[in-house]
């Protein structure tokens, strides 16, 4: 595929004004909804083929989210896209002031493999809603899901409006060497920096949805069983390959042993005695990630799990008891079904550990003491999070989803997605029936009036 001519064709289509009509955008979003509904079973099969993603998790975290996002956008788009009148500045009297939501133009969306369907389509829905044309680059690691994404997109859109470019590093590098009007990237911090550099070359605005080491702090006031259940769910969903999964637990030392035992019970409740046989537990995406993850299990004390099988890309839900901070599991984002649990005595212990890392994408605090959870929320900077639960902030489209610092730039979901893909153009319409002389030269004698 010739990338420059593809982008040229999209620029021409955009310049034709066809994407400007709100009615047209809604028609295409409805066609997209029909197509994803028609292919729903195939999408679930593809996700299963790629890494044994259980159908329940595929509905809850992939197809269900996309249908919700489509329904919400179709319902609200006309309202979101309407110019918003704001109060005028007295100094401009007489005037009417507006914000006009203008599409950027031709946008590039780069998606990761871990929620390969949802993380490609959610930004696309917003790009279309805001009136852009788009090129989508799905992950090369989820071949089945990326293929069905291409089928759906090509079924709904002409390529000069929206198209898919498949490929890995060389293809993405070529895409990034072009000039875009907006880039939306979801993936690792390392590649995020490559994208930021490419965007900087053309001063292209961008959203970076990245990752980090998400802390999960638990004090002794909690109901241990409920906490363990919620952490097991949030951590082992998608086999831990979730950008907002708890990365490590800091627990008040007096309840650590009870917590480890309860975690074991809750893992068994969820996945049985042997998670390898459970239909509800996904696999690691590839050998490279399998090897990266299993190397974290060397020289540590394993409290629960630890079973691995490279042929099946299986790593059991695993709890590491009190690893050294020099251990690999405490170095970078884990992004797999391994959970280190570290005891603390004081708030200073918590600070000393969380402050070692860049600002994470998510933070979680479990406590019955409001002052303690408020301290956590104020003391640490992170993209978003939850008190007394994990992951669930992702589900509410009224909350902006995004990182801070190394975990990302910008946010999306619901109306925030529409705003992300729109330039807010500020316009003052000046009245002509009155022309106050104050601002015009000569200024003599006017300083005192300011």
Cβ-based burial of 212 (10 A; exposed 0-12, middle 13-18, buried ≥19):
buried
* Active-site residue, selected from the candidate residues 209, 252, 266, 333: 209
Q: How far is the CB of 50 from ligand NAD (least distance, A)?
A: 12
Closer residue to ligand NAD, CB minimum distance, 131 or 234? 234
Query: Minimal CA–CA distance to 59: which of 76, 44, 42?
Result: 44
d(CA 223, CA 366): 9
| Nearby residues of 311 by Cβ (< 8 Å), 6 or more positions away | none
| Residue 166, both tokens | 């498949």
Closest contact distance (angstroms) between CB of 433 and ligand NAD is 51
**Which range of residues in 70-78, 108-116, 230-238, 307-315 is near ligand NAD by CB under 6 A?**
108-116
Considering the complex, what minimum distance in angstroms separates the CB of residue 28 from ligand NAD? 24
Residues 359-398 as x/- pattern, contact with ligand NAD by CB under 6 A: --x-------------------------------------
Comparing C-alpha atoms, which of 360, 392, 386 is closest to residue 214?
Answer: 360
Nearest C-alpha neighbor of 160 from the set 325, 303, 6, 331: 6
Residues 398-437 that bind ligand NAD (CB under 6 A): 403, 408
Find, among 318, 313, 319, the residue nearest to 282 by Cα: 313
Q: How far is the CB of 210 from ligand NAD (least distance, A)?
A: 5
Residue 7 or 119 with smaller CB distance to ligand NAD? 119
* 9 vs 344: CA distance, rounded Å: 58
Among 54, 103, 105, 112, binds ligand NAD (CB under 6 A): 112
Dihedrals phi, psi of 142, to nearest 5 degrees: -115, 75
Helices (H), 60-129: 64-81, 118-129
Q: Which of residues 125-184 bind ligand NAD (CB under 6 A)?
A: 137, 139-140, 168-169, 172-173
Q: Which is nearer to ligand NAD, 100 or 395 (by Cβ)?
A: 395
Residue nearest to ligand NAD (CB): 211
Give the footprint of ligand NAD on residues 201-260 (CB under 6 A): 209-211, 243
Angle at 52 between CA 237 and CA 399, to 5 degrees: 35
Rank residues 131 and 360 by Cβ distance to ligand NAD and give the closer one.
360
Per CB under 6 A, the list member of 7, 32, 191, 362 interacting with ligand NAD is: 191
Residue 267 within binding range of ligand NAD, rule CB under 6 A: no
Which residues are CB-contacts of 81 (< 8 A; sequence separation ≥ 6)? 22, 101, 129, 130, 131, 418, 422
Pick from 105, 123, 131, 187 the residue near ligand NAD by CB under 6 A. Answer: 187
**C-beta neighbour count of 190 within 10 angstroms:** 9
**Cross-strand partners of 84:** 99
* Known catalytic residue at 34: no
Give me the residues that bind ligand NAD (CB under 6 A), please. Answer: 110-114, 119, 137, 139-140, 168-169, 172-173, 186-188, 191, 194, 209-211, 243, 333, 335, 361, 403, 408
Give catalytic residues, as residue numbers.
Answer: 209
């Amino acid at each position: 595929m010739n990338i420059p001519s593809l982008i040229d064709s999209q620029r021409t289509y955009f310049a034709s004004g066809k994407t400007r009509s709100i009615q047209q955008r809604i028609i295409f979003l409805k066609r997209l909804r029909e197509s994803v509904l028609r292919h729903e079973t195939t999408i679930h099969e593809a996700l299963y083929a790629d890494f044994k993603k259980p159908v329940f998790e595929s509905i809850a975290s992939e197809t269900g989210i996309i249908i919700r996002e489509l329904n919400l956008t179709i319902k609200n788009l006309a309202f979101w896209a309407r110019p918003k009148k704001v109060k005028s500045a007295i100094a401009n009297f007489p005037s009417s002031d507006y914000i006009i939501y203008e599409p950027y133009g031709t946008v590039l969306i780069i998606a990761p493999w871990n929620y390969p369907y949802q993380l490609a389509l959610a930004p696309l829905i917003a790009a279309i809603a805001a009136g852009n044309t788009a090129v989508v680059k799905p992950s090369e690691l989820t071949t089945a899901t990326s293929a069905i994404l291409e089928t759906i997109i090509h079924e709904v859109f002409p390529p000069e409006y929206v198209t898919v470019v498949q490929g890995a590093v060389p293809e993405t590098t070529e895409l990034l060497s072009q000039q875009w009007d907006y880039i939306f990237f979801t993936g690792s911090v390392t590649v995020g920096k490559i994208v930021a550099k490419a965007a900087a070359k053309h001063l292209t605005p961008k959203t970076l949805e990245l990752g980090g080491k998400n802390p999960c702090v638990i004090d002794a006031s909690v109901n241990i069983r409920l906490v363990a259940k919620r952490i097991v769910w949030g951590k082992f969903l998608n086999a831990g390959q979730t950008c907002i999964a708890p990365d490590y637990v800091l627990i008040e030392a007096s309840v650590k042993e009870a917590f480890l035992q309860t975690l074991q019970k809750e893992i068994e409740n969820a996945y049985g005695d042997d998670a390898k046989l459970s239909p509800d537990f996904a696999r690691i995406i590839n050998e490279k990630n399998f090897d990266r993850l299993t190397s974290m299990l060397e020289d540590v004390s394993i409290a629960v799990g630890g079973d691995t099988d490279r042929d099946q890309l299986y790593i059991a839900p695993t709890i590491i008891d009190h690893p050294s901070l020099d251990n690999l599991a405490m170095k970078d984002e884990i992004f797999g079904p391994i959970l280190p649990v570290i005891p603390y005595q004081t708030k200073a212990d918590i600070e000393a550990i969380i402050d070692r890392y860049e600002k994470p994408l998510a933070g979680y605090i479990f406590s019955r003491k409001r002052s303690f959870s408020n301290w956590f929320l104020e003391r640490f900077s992170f993209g978003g999070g939850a008190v007394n639960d994990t992951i669930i902030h992702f589900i509410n489209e009224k909350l902006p989803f995004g990182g801070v610092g190394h975990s990302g730039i910008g946010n999306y979901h619901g109306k925030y997605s529409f705003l992300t893909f729109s330039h807010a153009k500020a316009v003052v319409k000046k009245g002509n029936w009155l022309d106050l002389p104050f601002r015009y030269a000569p200024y003599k004698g006017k300083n005192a009036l300011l």
